[in-house]
Structure 1
Amino acid sequence: MNPLIQALGRLLPERQVITDDLRRLAYGTDASFYRMTPEVVAVVESEDEVQGLLHAALAHQRTVTFRAAGTSLSGQAVTDSVLALIGEGFANCEIAPGAELVRLGPGITGGEVNARLAPHGRKIGPDPASINACKIGGIAANNASGMCCGTAQNSYRTLAGMRVMLADGTLLDTEDAASVAAFRKSHASLLDELAQLASATRADGKLAERIRHKYKIKNTTGYSLNALVDFEDPIDILSHLMIGSEGTLGFISRITLNTVAEAPNKASALVFFPTIEAACQAVIRLKQESVSAVELLDRPALRSVENKPGLPAAIRSLDNDAAALLIEVRADSVAVLERRINAALAALSGIDTVHLPAFSTDPATCDMYWKVRKGTFPSVGAVRRAGTTVIIEDVAFPVESLAAATVDLQALMRRHGYSEGIIFGHALEGNLHFVFTQDFSDQAEVDRYARFMDDVCELVVDKYDGSLKAEHGTGRNMAPFVEKEWGKQATDLMRRIKQLFDPNNLLNPGVILNDDAQAHLKHLKPMPAAEDIVDRCIECGFCEPVCPSHRLTLSPRQRIVSWRNLSQRAAAGERATEAEADFAYLGLDTCAGCGMCSTACPVGIDTGELTRLLRGRGLGNTSRKVGEWTSNHFGSVTALSRLGLRAGHAASSIAGNALLGRITDGMWKRGMPQAGRAPSQYRGAGDPVVYFPACAGRIFGANTTGEATQPEVVMELLVRAGYAPRLPEGFDSLCCGQALASKGMAQEADDMAAAVTKALLKAADDGQGGYYPIIMDASACSVRMQKLLDPRLKLYDFHEFAHDALLPRLRLTRKPGPVALHINCSVRRTATDAKLRRVIEACAEQVVEPAGVTCCGFGGDRGFVVPELNAHALRKVHEGLPSNCCEGVSTNRTCEIGLTAETGRPYRSIAYLLEECSREEGTMHC
């Protein structure tokens, strides 16, 4: 065995040392257009593990690259050596009293930090577009900024302290006086040299002014040399050099940031201009006002989104030279907001615009504007030719040169044949992103890209003295051009810094500084076509935080990466490998198929569709026959399932739940429901509605003996609210087919859905050419049938009907104690979670919604077949449930089974809570 891997095996638990081909390939991808397959992936969960890893790597002469979320765009998170994956042990967040300071581990996402700070009216300064996916470690290591943070609120400017581990394993805590004192002794020579470098730099007036000038606009090219002119204490210099160092100088194990106020009042305006020049003239004026953001979009960028709903029709008739500015103003009060709006409008006065500028304070309108702006990048990725990649470059110009530079950049893209390219950016900072598609499978195309980048560098550096990387980090992409931008003197200073911190070149070599002039043209990522439904994937990683299997097996991005590679091998006629066998479990078996990835994906890809497609292709004749029999005899399936539950409870009464769970490989759960039963038809009066109880609620009964089943509770509620529920004929033998669809049996599943539709058409017919409303009580099934149902029928998921129709008719007494809410993936995907929250808030005085939990991972039958998926998906639920929370609610029966088993608290349908709180005799308490 590889001696390094043996050493890591002694240092780390087995699950944290990843050596199989499939996952090494999957982790060899970040959001950039580079790929390198690591020799080993080591998941680190503590400072001790990082220290041990660094010592082992040095002893075995391997280099180490740290990786947080892998949303980096310049190739700084890939390696062919040791990839150190920052684990959840570093996902910590400590908010100081008053919330003006926050101490963060590198493994927590920026979005989660802001969610925790939101109740305090604060947020972190950096606001990259990837904030919901990228992690604090990457934000700091790349000095990420974004649309509103500018240069004043990035990590460098808001840094208050850090814990950092150097390449030799020494730990420095800049907020701990004892740690600083010890470091001053142990690393006196390092600190002395830093102090001397800073003193010499400040004494060199020309160099010092050059550095200050470079940071008047956004700049992440090279190391943060401004630390040498901004600070005198070498501890401060060291900590600020770490910002933007991309893991090449040390490992930031904790960072303390000054938070910034989150203004509660906002207004946005989308203003169209006849020319780029007019738009940029407006930017110069707006920069003098109190505006929070000004986003520039050129005409191709506008064209890429002009058909989005809600945008003014005038956008489609703009001339080819037109441009737009998306302007946002924020304030602590409505009065101040109004003054700032008027000041911004006054600044635009006299500038030629296509229409009269106007601000909107309507949250929906503002949200739509910003979604459109954020949709420009993926819009290019969505329409690119299969096999090509989408590249987003990131430069900055002095604001006064922005108009001319934008026009030059447009011309440069046309000259090199990138006619589909678009330009947008953070105009207040002179920061432009330009997006284009590129084929790296053809050497001629690679050569075209190389010529283009050479010309871009000349334009940015030689003509406008701008930044080659404004906010995306240097990475491999711009490492060969650092000296061109900075000059030899400043670059030699960077080389000296790297040598001081990392004399053995252990940390992320080739990133930021690289003497290979062709480095940016090596290790280019292949993007072979695999399946139409996922070929649009740009491998950005935005999907990963919401995926229940991420960090257990594979994420959606990694499934697509893996399948692209396996498809490419198969097309080349290569023999089957161990990776293909591994993909069956890592890629398919443990995919919940929940579609949550589509809610975060910039181009809306549901990787669950790929999973279902591949599962279907892999089915044998026996499985097909079982599926056909199930489709045709579902009544028998229902009866057999209930019989199995009764037998299971009989066995558990003798052997106990724990032993039975072990015997059945986790299929038998703690708190397994009793066997269900079909409800009886209602014969009374009221407003007619059709109720189709989903099969899970009919098969799995109440949590405890003697309790009403879910269908019985729903029926009781409908009657109590003055409705006359009617059940479809033969309903207990019907199923929407969701279970078969998840296994890839699409035709059999659709046949079952068609039978349900036929029964519902008959049951809902009011005899006068209309149809009664239909209610289903399992969100996953409701969503499926809403897509497939005859358009004449209106189907509600139960919580939707409860919100719209039951709440106005019921008298409710709210429960005092905390009730846990799990919003399952189907409700999240359909964006009906607000209605569900309003229903539970009408029933409970205190609602608990544990952070960090999206899909529960039960995935229909996945919770029975691969129970580890359910446990992994709910690993964060425990810390979010207070000890006095003794019940939970959701809207999917199988989800509730998994939640009950994992938390030890009974989870039931929201219908139970609504029924309890609407009883005339008052509430019941758990």
Structure 2
Amino acid sequence: MGLPAVFLSEVERLIPRERRFDDPLSTLAFGTDASFYRLIPKLVIRVESEAEVVAVLKLAAAQSVSVTFRAAGTSLSGQALSDSVLIVLGDNWNGREILQQGAQIRLQPGVIGANANAVLLPFQRKIGPDPASINACKIGGIVANNASGMCCGTAQNSYNTLAGIRIVLADGSVLDTEDSASVAAFEQSHTALLEQLAELARATRSNSELASKIRHKYRLKNTTGLSLNALVDFDQPLDILSHLMVGSEGTLGFISSVTYNTVPDHPHKASALVVFPDVENCCRAVTVLKAQPVSAVELLDRRSLRSVENKAGMPDWVKNLSDNACALLIESRAASQSLLHEQLTQVMASLSSFPVEKQVDFSEDPVVYNQLWRIRKDTFPAVGAVRETGTTVIIEDVTFPVEQLAEGVNRLLQLFDKHQYDEAIIFGHALEGNLHFVFTQGFDSPEQVARYEAFMQDVAQLVAVEFGGSLKAEHGTGRNMAPFVELEWGKDAHQLMWQIKRLLDPQGILNPDVVLSNDPHIHLKNLKPLPAADEIVDKCIECGFCEPVCPSRELTLSPRQRIVIWRDIQAKKRAGVDTTALERDYQYQGVDTCAATGLCAQRCPVGINTGDLVRKLRARDANSTGAANWLAKHFDGAIKGTRFTLMAANMARQLLGPKNLASLSHNLTKISANRLPQWTPAMPQAARPIRLNTQQVADPRPRVVYLTACVSRAMGPAFSDREQVPLIDKTRALLEKSGFQVVFPAEQGSLCCGQPFASKGYAEQADRKRSELIDALLEASRGGLDPIYCDTSPCTLRLLQDGLDERLKLHDPVKFIREHMLDRLEFTPQAEPVAIHVTCSTQHLGEAQGLIDIAKRCSQQVVIPEGIHCCGFAGDKGFTTPELNAHALRSLKNAVQICDEGISTSRTCEIGLSHHAGIDYHSLVYLVDRVTRARA
């Protein structure tokens, strides 16, 4: 059944077409979150203001249309899905305001958790919640799910650090608890509601048995059901209402902003790993550590350790642990190093009486403690990576009273054996008795669903009834645990939750069947299929961690959505369904607008590079093999042709003027459907051909082989750039200033790393050019004796990706400057601020921090624009699909407005960056050369 016509017509009047989605591809793409459920919305609305939310809710109430709010969609329990109207956050929900010197922070719901902490970092503060998804999840979801994490516990979650909140209720009314006028208006308009809340609280507190149960439940980590603790912790109805919103999962209202009381972010930390011979000793140690100065204690059972023991970088001893071993990863933090050392001594003394099988002592060395935390963080993806294709990964989230933790762990292990979940592992936040267990599950047969149902019934009985624990500690109730809320809480508390729901959402339009449901089987319905699609992406768990770094998200599809649609296409094809229309839409949304830079792989828990799938699809459609072969063979001619084209464009600029040429070019680009690139003032001039001296001459200076990228040989500075010296000349001058003899490979004009061919799907030609270049570099470097400097990061990455000849010592600009030039140059930093763009390839090469550190040597103020991870120029996409570049850099101009110059390490990226920032972007070497002189 469709949505009411009146509702649709009013929404069309209210929301622009580009922010309404009802086509099959888009609704399917938005019908996925990180859970194992799928609901396809009838309409997706991207809202950009609170006024729009108010208007949509009033329409929904008038027409009895159910709505669901969604932030990042990293939810694990099915709370961010809808088969009606899905309301998602647009760009304009990213506001943040530092208050009281960092003691508080006001955040809109679209702010990513890690970005909130980034702006608090100078104050040595952070928000309390620290979920594992903090680099992807947003504040709206963090508050609505009362998310916590490894160090958060219960004291620092959203409920206990809430300082103020602004909400929109189901009737469209707005309340801002920090605005006295808003409070006064709300108290007048909603007197009856507030009186009923106050009465519910009085009745709850007077019911000593119920009040005691509520207090007990929230002594534990608990997100099962609504936040009934609000009724016993507060007596003022506004305080009650504010805290009911925390953990309500969008079932009681929309959160427009939240103000947190922040918590200390101590700069000094150390971690240790202690392996005990059995679960009992491990869990007894937890109870001792609870009284010690520790910030995190993570439990890992033997199965979880086994799941990562063969991963690269893991210590060899992990493989040799006994079958019953159980480990604790312990972290302590302090405001000073001396205090930290006192704490470490105290912690280790408290464990001195316990038998220990293996121990890694506390270390402050980032290399050591990052490796220890990697053991913990790799457990979940390790299970996901080895699962059978077509199955999903389920991560459950329970709490046992800490004093019963050992028995709880052992009983869970028995349930794994009983239901034959042999791959299941247990890890978790031991200080709170909060355990996660991960297992793989297929839903493609009634028998598999029945096995899951029987297992969950046993888990619910064990945790909620026998141990009096919580079935959801921090992942939210969602649809997953809605049928079990009454089992855990009892009839009185469950009915109290329903009273609250009906009071605040009398029509039941807000996120129905989430948290509270009358359907005892809702957790077994709308189960998400994960059909085989391609071995490159079949391990995807659809968590959404990849999305923040994707330049095309919100323009077309994110990596997660690309995989969702491709899975659906393949499943439909196998079922004999015509996918012509879907594939036609996917060509643009999934293939043409993918930058294919692979940043998604860096965020993916199982290491999937969705760009690899896109390149494979491009290769399938690459039907100009003859032209690719000709280009590979006559590459020097192609570079000359590019120079000629740029020269002609520059002559046109001189004749017509920049403004007239830009207007003419815009019209020609539009008429040609983007086949002719748009000219902008950032367009390069033709690089002057340079006579490269390849003769061997007697020279006592150390040699460096300079590999000039093809874009450096073709593209000179833009006419408007204050730096008019060609990159090759500037680089050679800087290398010589640093005391190097610069040599070039022979026949450099025809050399190419192969990237232009690889990005278009011509792998054979790409590999051929790469091999030619490697041979030339071996010869030029005297068999690898001399280091090689490549002047652009993308070319360096391309050469290194598939394994470079081990004799070659290849460097991108950042690595060469960092390793070979810093001690040869004296830096005098400039006062003028400089903007830094860390290219995708620089990130892949692990040189992001190196670039930032060099920039800080060169300028007293370095600006790194937030949220711009990839510029979207992607080789030539900036010419052929300019909307991708424009979308990726839509926030750049405001972010760099105090700067007159930007720095990067990719010539093509610099074209788009200069155009959209309104300032000149050029290579790092220009900045380094300007502020340095040779050491005496």
Mark yes or no: TM-score above 0.5.
Answer: yes
Distance in 1 of aligned mates of 2:705 and 2:341: 51
Q: How many pairs are equivalent?
A: 916
Q: Provide the secondary structure at the position in 1 that maps to 2:274.
A: strand
Query: 1:661: how far off?
Result: 3.4
Pair 1:681 & 2:692 matched: yes
Counterpart of 1:896 in structure 2 is 910
Pair 1:219 & 2:230 matched: no
Distance in 2 of aligned mates of 1:717 and 1:111: 38
Q: Provide the secondary structure at the position in 1 that maps to 2:40.
A: coil
Verify the 8 A CA contact 2:226 2:244 in the aligned structure 1: yes
Verify the 8 A CA contact 1:652 1:660 in the aligned structure 2: no
Identity between Structure 1 and Structure 2 (%): 53
Counterpart of 1:321 in structure 2 is 324
Q: In structure 2, do the counterparts of structure 1 residues 918 and 335 end up closer, same or farther at CA, with 3 Å as the change threshold? A: closer
Distance in 1 of aligned mates of 2:851 and 2:935: 25
Pair 1:907 & 2:924 matched: no
Counterpart of 2:876 in structure 1 is 861
Q: Provide the secondary structure at the position in 1 that maps to 2:444.
A: coil
Q: Provide the secondary structure at the position in 1 that maps to 2:259.
A: strand
Counterpart of 2:574 in structure 1 is 571
Query: 1:372: how far off?
Result: 1.8
Counterpart of 2:932 in structure 1 is 918
Q: Provide the secondary structure at the position in 2 that maps to 1:284.
A: helix
Distance in 2 of aligned mates of 1:776 and 1:356: 44
Pair 1:42 & 2:73 matched: no
Query: 1:577: how far off?
Result: 4.0
Distance in 2 of aligned mates of 1:256 and 1:918: 46
Pair 1:887 & 2:890 matched: no
Query: 1:921: how far off?
Result: 14
Q: TM-score, normalised by structure 1?
A: 0.97
Counterpart of 2:673 in structure 1 is none
Which amino acid counterpart does residue 675 of structure 1 have in structure 2? Answer: A
Pair 1:877 & 2:892 matched: yes
334-343 or 355-364: which moved more?
355-364
Q: Provide the secondary structure at the position in 2 that maps to 1:817.
A: coil
**1:660 equivalent among 639, 660, 665:** 665
The aligned runs of 1:685-696 (5 Å cut-off) are 685=699, 686-696=701-711
Counterpart of 1:102 in structure 2 is 105
Query: 1:792: how far off?
Result: 1.9
**1:697 equivalent among 712, 718, 723:** 712
Q: Provide the secondary structure at the position in 1 that maps to 2:684.
A: coil
Pair 1:784 & 2:808 matched: no
Query: 1:374: how far off?
Result: 1.1
The aligned runs of 1:813-892 (5 Å cut-off) are 813-883=828-898, 885-892=899-906
859-868 or 65-74: which moved more?
859-868
Q: In structure 2, do the counterparts of structure 1 residues 357 and 603 end up closer, same or farther at CA, with 3 Å as the change threshold? A: closer
**2:774 equivalent among 750, 754, 757:** 757
Q: In structure 2, do the counterparts of structure 1 residues 314 and 211 end up closer, same or farther at CA, with 3 Å as the change threshold? A: same
Counterpart of 2:15 in structure 1 is 12
**1:671 equivalent among 682, 695, 708:** 682
Verify the 8 A CA contact 2:46 2:90 in the aligned structure 1: yes
Query: 1:312: how far off?
Result: 4.0
Verify the 8 A CA contact 1:105 1:136 in the aligned structure 2: yes
Verify the 8 A CA contact 1:559 1:587 in the aligned structure 2: yes
Distance in 2 of aligned mates of 1:859 and 1:669: 17
Counterpart of 2:431 in structure 1 is 428
Query: 1:309: how far off?
Result: 5.0
Q: In structure 2, do the counterparts of structure 1 residues 79 and 356 end up closer, same or farther at CA, with 3 Å as the change threshold? A: closer
Q: Provide the secondary structure at the position in 2 that maps to 1:816.
A: coil
Distance in 1 of aligned mates of 2:811 and 2:772: 18
Counterpart of 2:212 in structure 1 is 209
Q: Deviations over 1:16-59 (max 9, x none)?
A: 11112111101100000000110011001111100111122233
Verify the 8 A CA contact 1:19 1:39 in the aligned structure 2: yes
**1:339 equivalent among 315, 339, 342:** 342
Counterpart of 2:725 in structure 1 is 708
The aligned runs of 1:241-252 (5 Å cut-off) are 241-252=244-255
Alignment RMSD: 1.7
Distance in 1 of aligned mates of 2:704 and 2:775: 16
Pair 1:732 & 2:749 matched: yes
Distance in 2 of aligned mates of 1:631 and 1:5: 54
Q: Provide the secondary structure at the position in 1 that maps to 2:827.
A: coil
405-414 or 326-335: which moved more?
326-335
Distance in 2 of aligned mates of 1:245 and 1:577: 41
Which amino acid counterpart does residue 800 of structure 1 have in structure 2? Answer: K
Which amino acid counterpart does residue 660 of structure 1 have in structure 2? Answer: S
Q: Provide the secondary structure at the position in 2 that maps to 1:31.
A: coil
Q: Provide the secondary structure at the position in 2 that maps to 1:395.
A: strand
Distance in 1 of aligned mates of 2:596 and 2:503: 49
Query: 1:288: how far off?
Result: 1.2
Counterpart of 1:595 in structure 2 is 598
Verify the 8 A CA contact 2:105 2:261 in the aligned structure 1: yes
Q: Provide the secondary structure at the position in 2 that maps to 1:575.
A: coil
Distance in 1 of aligned mates of 2:350 and 2:690: 68
Distance in 2 of aligned mates of 1:490 and 1:845: 59
Verify the 8 A CA contact 2:893 2:918 in the aligned structure 1: no
**1:396 equivalent among 394, 399, 418:** 399
Distance in 2 of aligned mates of 1:197 and 1:657: 66
Verify the 8 A CA contact 2:68 2:80 in the aligned structure 1: yes
Distance in 1 of aligned mates of 2:530 and 2:106: 39
The aligned runs of 1:274-289 (5 Å cut-off) are 274-289=277-292
Distance in 1 of aligned mates of 2:313 and 2:357: 18
Verify the 8 A CA contact 2:60 2:66 in the aligned structure 1: yes
The aligned runs of 1:493-504 (5 Å cut-off) are 493-504=496-507
Query: 1:90: how far off?
Result: 1.2
Distance in 1 of aligned mates of 2:663 and 2:337: 59
Verify the 8 A CA contact 2:305 2:375 in the aligned structure 1: no
Distance in 2 of aligned mates of 1:522 and 1:100: 44
**1:806 equivalent among 803, 815, 821:** 821
Q: Provide the secondary structure at the position in 1 that maps to 2:322.
A: coil
Query: 1:920: how far off?
Result: 7.6
Distance in 1 of aligned mates of 2:53 and 2:96: 19
Q: Provide the secondary structure at the position in 2 that maps to 1:372.
A: helix
Verify the 8 A CA contact 1:667 1:863 in the aligned structure 2: no
Verify the 8 A CA contact 1:161 1:255 in the aligned structure 2: yes
Distance in 2 of aligned mates of 1:791 and 1:364: 25
Q: In structure 2, do the counterparts of structure 1 residues 718 and 335 end up closer, same or farther at CA, with 3 Å as the change threshold? A: closer
Q: Deviations over 1:557-592 (max 9, x none)?
A: 111111111111112221124221111111011111
The aligned runs of 1:339-738 (5 Å cut-off) are 339-355=342-358, 358-620=361-623, 623-653=624-654, 654=656, 655-665=660-670, 667-682=678-693, 685=699, 686-704=701-719, 707-738=724-755
**1:742 equivalent among 759, 784, 788:** 759
Query: 1:554: how far off?
Result: 0.7
Query: 1:890: how far off?
Result: 0.5
Which amino acid counterpart does residue 19 of structure 2 have in structure 1? Answer: Q
Distance in 1 of aligned mates of 2:456 and 2:787: 60
Distance in 2 of aligned mates of 1:742 and 1:398: 54
Q: In structure 2, do the counterparts of structure 1 residues 680 and 717 end up closer, same or farther at CA, with 3 Å as the change threshold? A: farther
Verify the 8 A CA contact 1:167 1:506 in the aligned structure 2: yes
Distance in 1 of aligned mates of 2:472 and 2:305: 24
Verify the 8 A CA contact 1:803 1:838 in the aligned structure 2: no
User: Which segments of 5 or more consecutive residues in structure 2 lack a partner in the other structure?
Assistant: 671-676
Verify the 8 A CA contact 1:658 1:670 in the aligned structure 2: no
Query: 1:60: how far off?
Result: 3.4
Query: 1:357: how far off?
Result: 6.2
Q: TM-score, normalised by structure 2?
A: 0.96
Verify the 8 A CA contact 2:397 2:471 in the aligned structure 1: yes
Counterpart of 1:231 in structure 2 is 234
Query: 1:289: how far off?
Result: 1.4
Q: Provide the secondary structure at the position in 2 that maps to 1:471.
A: coil
User: Which segments of 5 or more consecutive residues in structure 1 lack a partner in the other structure?
Assistant: none
Which amino acid counterpart does residue 325 of structure 1 have in structure 2? Answer: L
Query: 1:311: how far off?
Result: 4.5
